[in-house]
Amino acid sequence: MVEHQLKARGIKDSRILSAMGAIPRHLFVPEPLKEQAYEDHPLAIGYGQTISQPYIVARMAEASLITPSCKLLEIGTGSGYNAAVLSELAKVVYTIERIEPLAEDAKSHLKEIQKSNVFVFLGDGSLGLIDKAPFDVIIVTAASPEAPKSLLNQLAKGGRLVIPVGDALTQKLLRYTKKAEGDFEVAVLDFVRFVPLIGKEGWTL
């Protein structure tokens, strides 16, 4: 996976390559799909949700410029796999999931691999996590019609928000860098397809 899907597609950061090599992805994949855990595509994890393709996990991590001292917020815990990878790169990872059984499964997977710097919350991640803000990095693993204001507000100065923005079929992967309060530099990184961010500042049901 690391050689053929990540290095071959231009992922260079050695910390990310090591993290992706270190986390046992099969533990986060449902039993019938375990044989496909390291394949080059997303997989169903139940409740209409997915664990992202390995390359996308690495691409988003690389784009968000994570340093070992980072306080990081992930929106969309899903299986917990991405949070586990991010916890190898950042000091602390907070992650929010709106579907309770997924949040509970993610907690037990993360416990299984003894992750002590990842904290799973249940709730609407489109509103961020005000009690733990500001964040150096926010990564959203679900697609939003626009970057939620709450997430932009909860970035530290210099902080990065990496988020897929667009409609249900295709989105641009964007990186917002906070230059000052209300002043952001925006970079288009890629074209992607994610499940929707459902919430007050995402899509409504």
**DSSP string over 26-91:** GGGS-GGGGGGTTSSS-EEEETTEEEPPHHHHHHHHHHTT--TT-EEEEE--TTSHHHHHHHTTSS
CA gap 103, 122 in Å, rounded: 7
Is omega for the bond preceding 54 within 30 degrees of 0, making it cis? no
Structure tokens given for 163: 């988020």
Pick from 84, 73, 52, 83: nearest CA to 171:
52
Q: In Å, how far are 40, 58, 77 from 98, measured between CA atoms? A: 26, 23, 8
Pick from 139, 19, 168: nearest CA to 71:
139
Show the site string, 152-181: x = touches ligand SAM by CB under 6 A, - = not: ------------------------------
Among 49, 64, 150, 154, binds ligand SAM (CB under 6 A): 49
The interface region with ligand SAM, picked from 1-9, 59-67, 90-98, 156-164 by CB under 6 A, is 90-98
Least distance CB 183 / ligand SAM (angstroms): 26
Least distance CB 32 / ligand SAM (angstroms): 16
* 116 in active site: no
Could you say whether residue 124 binds ligand SAM (CB under 6 A)?
Answer: yes
Least distance CB 131 / ligand SAM (angstroms): 16
Residue tagged active-site, from 52, 64, 126, 144 = 52
How many residues does this entry show for the chain? 205
Least distance CB 30 / ligand SAM (angstroms): 11
The interface region with ligand SAM, picked from 62-70, 73-81, 149-157, 174-182 by CB under 6 A, is 73-81
Residues in the site for ligand SAM, rule: CB under 6 A? 49-52, 75-76, 78-79, 81-82, 96-99, 102, 124-126, 141-142, 194-195, 197-199, 202
Q: Which residues are catalytic?
A: 52
